[in-house]
Structure formats: structure tokens, C-alpha cells
Structure 1
Amino acid sequence: MRIKQPEIIYEDEAVIVCRKEAGVAVQTARAGQADMVSLLKNYRAKKKEEPYIGLIHRLDQPVEGVMVFAKTKMAAAKLSAQVSNRSMEKEYLAVTAGVPQPEKGELCDWLLRDGKTNTSTVVAKGTPQAKEAKLSYEVVEVRAEGQKALVHIWLHTGRHHQIRVQFAHVGYPLYGDVKYGTAAGAYCPVALCSCRIAFKHPITGKEMEFAIEPKGKAFHI
């Protein structure tokens, strides 16, 4: 895919808030493949600024959404602390195969990541190296005569592939997610969007909030 400059939603001396398009990696070691960090470093360099970009949180490559990056090491440390203490708010919209039951609830699981396959699996509590995963959700709209649903998700922990794994585990995989839900439909990319992020500004302490609408095909048919 052709990689273009990320859409900047907000920028000041400490942070850059932008939209990550689906298909773009947040950060990659692959030579010649553009990612969000390198694109933003180049963006700063072209403005004759120090090309520092602090990575605060991640989004899977096939997922779109709003992200915040730090422009200084101090800002990075303060924003990362908000991620660690779970005061940074993250909300998502997803399209699921089928309608989750109940239509409003919470998913609590233990996930184990496999670095060799780049996947995560729901495992029993107490499994070595497994991490607790929690999210809340609510069905916003039932579509296609009950064949799919638009779901609003509040993420309480930030585990590897968390939303995708947890919904697939309960039988409602996300559309387009061939990694975790082969029956989820032939859409690409994954029907998941980080639609809202809220945090305290690392310098001023002001409450900051940014929201976007998903562009993905599965959200609009």
C-alpha cells in the first residue's frame, strides 16, 4: 500500500495526536517499510525540529485509530506513566460477526502471548506469564438481520491483540480478522478503530480528549 503522511489532529510543543491508517505499522524493524514513528520523525525533521518521537502506546497494523506520540523524553515519561496506571482512556468501535450476548457487559480473561507466532490465546488463570485482560462493551447497533453488530468498547488493560482475542474467544470475532476469526467475513482490514483517547497533557496537566470516526469499509456497509 502507498504510505502517506499521517493526518495530524493536534500538535504542540509536547505531543502529536494523529490518525493511524489501517495497514500502517506503528513501529517496525523491516527495512524499507514505513511506520508511524519513522513518518513522524521525518515530519519533524522537515520542520527543522529535533526528530524525536516517543512511542506511548500501540495499535495493531491492520487497525485504524487515533494515537498520541510524545515530542520530548519528559512528555514520553509522563504519558507512559498514565498508560501504566490506566488513567489514559481508550475507546474503540468494532464490527463483530454475530451480536454479542449479553449486548452490554464485561470480558475478563487471562491472555498468553506467543512471540513466535505473534498471537495471543485465552488461558487459565495462573498460567505462567499470562496477563489479565479486561474490557467493557456495549452493542450500539445490530446490522444485517442479526448477522453482525457495531460494538463500543472501553479498554481497561492494553494486552497484545486483546480485543480481537477476547471477542473471538466468546464466539464473536471481528470482521476481517483472519488471524483470530476465519468465519468473520472477507473484509480487510480488521473492523476495529481506536475512536477516542483521553489523557492529561504532560506539561499543563489539562484534560485532553480526541475522537475520530472510522473509515474502514466494514463500518459503512
Structure 2
Amino acid sequence: MKNMLLLSGSKYKDTDYLIHALPWFEAFLKDYKGKKMAFVPYAGIVRSYEEYEQIVQQVLACFDIEVVSVHRGKKHQDIIEQADVIAVGGGNTFCLLKQMYEHRLIDVIREKVNAGTPYTGWSAGSNVAGSSIMTTNDMPITFPPSFNALNLFPHQINPHFISGKPAGHNGESREERLAEFLIVNPNAYVYALPEGTALRIQGEKATVLGSTDILRFSNNMQLTTLPVNSTFQY
């Protein structure tokens, strides 16, 4: 049974890194004390893999789980194959997906998670859990061989969703960008995750976590509101 925790982002309001999500991680990791978590740091452009690994290690140390970045393996696949839990960090989604393809992690992660290995991601790490990265907010600063992602959650995810436009902004709003996507891809569903929210996925059901509703957009921007603590079949 799939077991996933997909966060909109690593911070909420003025909290430190992943602190707002600690209660969610406590429930998610409760059966994995003393186990190994494979961490995929590829999205973290502004920090080294070692620095990113250390940040996640420090945050999750209270759960007695060993966090090991995939770059520690002779083949990055090796760390994934040995892991009891998989975590994928945020940053630039295009860089993340490109290196996941280059290091041949797509199939091995998909197979393990479909077989029950827990998966967690935040921001870009949540985006790649969906069917494609076509609803990322990031600039394409590099080119993955495909936009197709892990497809563990068989729909589109839009992290860091903010409704409307800031004062003085004359570009498209997030809704307008998603509307463009749905015109070109009318059969798709987009799950918009506002800051401070997450999806807790168990099997074929998902539960909304956080203090704000999650939004689902479909053809012609039809809106379905998914309330906090509600569970739905996806």
C-alpha cells in the first residue's frame, strides 16, 4: 500500500526548516525508528549535497532515523535500494528531475514506493511525485529528458499555491497559469497545495493536512475544495 507525505514546502510563515511539519513526520515515521532514510538532494542548487543532507539530518534527528544522501553511494541507486524510507527535498524541480533520470532513480523509487516503502517530499520533492512537473513554479534552468515524473500520485501537483496577484504585479496569477495548463491538458487534475499544507496518502486515499483547504482544478478551471482533515479517493 502506498504510504506518502507530500508537503507544499519546507517552511510555513516564520517557522524554521520543516518545523511546522514535525507532527506530521512523527506520525509518518513512527514505525521506522532506527531505520534508514534515503535523501535525494538534487533540487538544492544553492547548497552542497553535504549541507542539504546535514540540514535534514538535524531536523529529523528527534525521530531516531538515519538520513543518508544518495550521493554517498557508489551508485546513487544503491542508497535507494537499501533504504526503509525515501525523502526528496525541495529546490529547483527541473534540476531535480534531470538528475533523477541521469542517476536512474525513477524506476527504482517508483517500484519501492508502489511496494510500500514510505515516500516523503516537499516542494519540488512533492511535485515529482505527481504525473509530471508541468505545473511546477520553477524556471527551467536545465533540461530533463522528459517532464514525466514518478506518477506515484497520478495527477498534477502545484506546491506553494497562492491565489490572486500581489499589488503591482502585472504578470499572470497562479490561477491563470493553471488555466493555461488545463486548456492544453483538459483531462488533467491539478492539486494546488497552499503554504503550510500537505497530502497524507495511504493506499488510494489522501487526507488533507494543515490549516488551509487544498484546491483541485479540472477542465475549465472547475474548482473542488478539499477541506482540512478530509479524506478523499484520488
Could you say which TM-score interval applies, normalised by the shorter chain?
0.3 to 0.5
- Give the structure with the larger helix fraction: 2
- Give the structure with the larger strand fraction: 1
Larger radius of gyration: 1
